[in-house]
Amino acid sequence: MNNFINISDLSKVELRSIIDSAKKRKSERGGKPHSQPDENQPLNGKTMIMIFEKTSTRTRISFDLAVKQLGGSSIILNQDEIHYGKGDETIKDTAKVLSQYADILMIRTDSHNNVDEFKKHLEIPIINGLTNQGHPCQVMSDILTFEELKGNIKDKTIAWIGDGNNVSNSFIEAAVKFQFKLNIGCPKKYQPDSKIVKLAKKNNCQLLITEDPYKAAEGADCIMTDKWISMSDKGDKNKKKKILKKYQVNKKIMKVAKLDSIFMHCLPASREEEVTSEVMDGKQSVVWLQAFNRIHAQKSIIEWCMK
């Protein structure tokens, strides 16, 4: 049994095997209808419980479909429907109880510590479906999408433009493991988690953090961004948006990247803030494939956790 909490917890070999098995499963499945199980069903008779402390469209639906395609079933719980969410049962007791009912747990929470606390008391694997600190499932899925379109990500250049948030933190961890170049263009005030940056540098990450979005985007194979205001952001939102204004991904920024570069966004997007509709709906954008590939990457993550 394995837990999938941080990209940095897994070895290079394990991470590569998850991506490669996602590619294989996706191609073997062909164009079957979304809810039709695969030929081989490693989750047959098994249940995944999902807890959402925060809103979700993609994670909720793509995990549900992933479980169905693997032959299992899922139960989706919102924070306000369960005792732990209301605060009248400890994480320890909830974890012990869920271990009696399910074979794997996925959780989206505001506090990374909640995931660690669940892990401590669960008898089943846990998957991080986004915390204030990271979004590892998104990043694995984005690597799958990148490689489908552009080949092996090793030594390619990914430019992250905008807020140094949870998704960017997971990208830094991934850059160490998959050995790609990561340029982060962000204001000083909104840099990624300093502990994650420090550890990545110690592990020879090809990481550039600059306040100049054009320098970050120059010659990149892929330009990425995310909402300027994340679900867990508590500060002055208007002030943050003002500071991030010059980091908008628009035609001008896309022009300094490689001619055949792609644009990625994990979604949801605030159009005309972090990205213009012109770029998001443009030829270089692969955002809908990114959403689709969440299903395929997560199937492999689940399979790896159940080993």
State the nearest-atom distance from the C-beta of 58 to ligand NVA, in Å: 7
The footprint of ligand NVA (CB under 6 A) covers 130, 135, 165-167, 226-227, 230-231, 266
State the nearest-atom distance from the C-beta of 287 to ligand NVA, in Å: 12
Q: 135, 290, 296, 298: which one is catalytic?
A: 135
The footprint of ligand CP (CB under 6 A) covers 56-59, 130, 138, 266-268
Measured from the CB atom, the residue of 60 and 181 that comes closer to ligand CP is 60
Residue 108 annotated as catalytic: yes
* Dihedral pair phi/psi, residue 143, rounded to 5°: -70, -40
Measured from the CB atom, the residue of 135 and 296 that comes closer to ligand NVA is 135
State the nearest-atom distance from the C-beta of 4 to ligand CP, in Å: 15
Measured from the CB atom, the residue of 209 and 286 that comes closer to ligand CP is 286
State the nearest-atom distance from the C-beta of 26 to ligand CP, in Å: 18
* Dihedral pair phi/psi, residue 136, rounded to 5°: -65, -35
State the nearest-atom distance from the C-beta of 151 to ligand NVA, in Å: 26
Q: 205, 266, 290, 296: which one is catalytic?
A: 266
Q: Are 67 and 74 in contact (CB under 8 A)?
A: yes
How far is residue 212 from each of residues 3, 152, 248, measured CA to CA in Å? Answer: 37, 27, 12
Measured from the CB atom, the residue of 79 and 230 that comes closer to ligand NVA is 230
How far is residue 240 from each of residues 40, 183, 230, measured CA to CA in Å? Answer: 48, 21, 11
CA distance 128 to 11: 17
Q: 60, 112, 294, 296: which one is catalytic?
A: 294
165 binds, among ligand NVA, ligand CP, none (CB under 5 to 8 A by kind): ligand NVA
Q: 138, 248, 290, 298: which one is catalytic?
A: 138
Residue 29 annotated as catalytic: no
Residue 266 annotated as catalytic: yes
Residue 281 annotated as catalytic: no
CA distance 294 to 142: 8
230 binds, among ligand NVA, ligand CP, none (CB under 5 to 8 A by kind): ligand NVA
Measured from the CB atom, the residue of 94 and 166 that comes closer to ligand NVA is 166
Q: Are 76 and 50 in contact (CB under 8 A)?
A: yes
- Supply the residues annotated as catalytic: 108, 135, 138, 226, 266, 294
